[in-house]
Amino acid sequence: MDMGIRGRKAIVCASNRGLGRACAEALAQEGVDLVVNGLDADRLDKTAEAISSAWGVSVTPVAADVSSPEGQAALLEACPHPDILVNNNGGPPLKDFRELSREDILKGVVQNMVTPIELIQKVVGHMTDQKFGRIVNITSASVKMPIVGLDLSSGARAALTAFMAGPARTIASHNVTVNGLLPGMFDTDRLKGSTSRMAELQGLSEQEAAEKRMAGVPAGRFGNPEEFGRTCAFMCSVHAGYLTGQNILLDGGLFNSSI
């Protein structure tokens, strides 16, 4: 299927690795020029070069903290008028909620709620003027099914989801969509790290811990980042103009619900 977005421009936040990179790769396959982002400049340069070489699109690396005003300014300097914005950011580490300080909570809210809202505020005017825009907020399955120890991440991402539910409807008539993409357990470095930690706490090998986690997923496996990226590309396509204010759960059936 031709997604109809060849020649469009996208900012993909936190796209150095994992699910962010998978989204950047999928958009590049559709002929979208990219601004990619991460904190590790060397890794980011290699990511940009690899994507550009593979798909023949323009890829501009911006090494910056997307949560900082300076980082956001650098992204928008590289691409002042994106047609597509994929919001993604790291979240607070696993921690008992009783141990969270006020500073911890505020930092987590800035990372996973305030930052994406600020970026949307900065790009949505051009999108509505040109009558095309696609905004995808990568949050987490924990918005629907909380994960103990990731309460701050879950709460901030749920707040973003609730906040954008109203604005998404106000700009829909301009062919600008805002949707959430909620990953479950995908085979990424982040998942490997949490599985390793689980193995340590439970006295298991890393393989045993991984198998235990997979056993709880109806699909019987972890997700492939590539399939996540392809879903994101569809949500950014011309074919998804009637999809807005929705939160698409990709978790292999882990969240047990009829709606």
Question: What pLDDT digit, counting tens, does each position of 110-166 carry?
Answer: 999 999 999 999 999 999 999 999 999 999 999 999 888 889 999 999 999 999 999
What's the average model confidence in pLDDT over 252-259?
91
The confidence score (pLDDT) of residue 259 equals 79
* Amino acid at residue number 168: A
3-state SS of the chain is CCCCCCCCEEEECCCCCHHHHHHHHHHHHCCCEEEEEECCHHHHHHHHHHHHHHHCCCEEEEECCCCCHHHHHHHHHHCCCCCEEEECCCCCCCCCHHHCCHHHHHHHHHHHHHHHHHHHHHHHHHHHHHCCEEEEEECCHHHCCCCCCCHHHHHHHHHHHHHHHHHHHHCHHHCEEEEEEEECCECCHHHHHHHHHHHHHHCCCHHHHHHHHHHCCCCCCCECHHHHHHHHHHHCCHHHCCCCCCEEEECCCCCCCCC
Q: Is there a domain that residue 65 lies in?
A: yes
Residues 77, 116, single domain; the answer is yes
Q: What's the token pair of residue 10?
A: 């996208």
Instruction: Check whether residue 139 and residue 32 sit in a common domain.
Output: yes
Residue 191, pLDDT > 90, answer: no
Do 198 and 102 fall into the same domain?
no
Half-sphere exposure of 151 (CA within 13 A, CB side): 10
- 18 part of a folded domain: yes
For residues 19 and 84, state if they share a domain.
yes
> What residues make up the domain containing 143?
9-186+224-250
Model pLDDT, residue 200: 86
- Quick one: pLDDT at residue 198? 81
Report the pLDDT value the prediction gives residue 68, as an integer from 0 to 100. 97
pLDDT digits (tens, 9 = 90+) for 69-83: 999 999 999 999 999
| pLDDT value of residue 158 | 97
Does pLDDT of 194 surpass 90? no
CA distances from 221 to 90, 185, 226, 238 (A): 23, 9, 14, 31
pTM above 0.85, yes or no: yes
Asked, for residue 122, whether it belongs to a domain, the answer is: yes
Q: How many domains does the chain have?
A: 2
Query: For residue 47, which amino acid is it?
Result: T
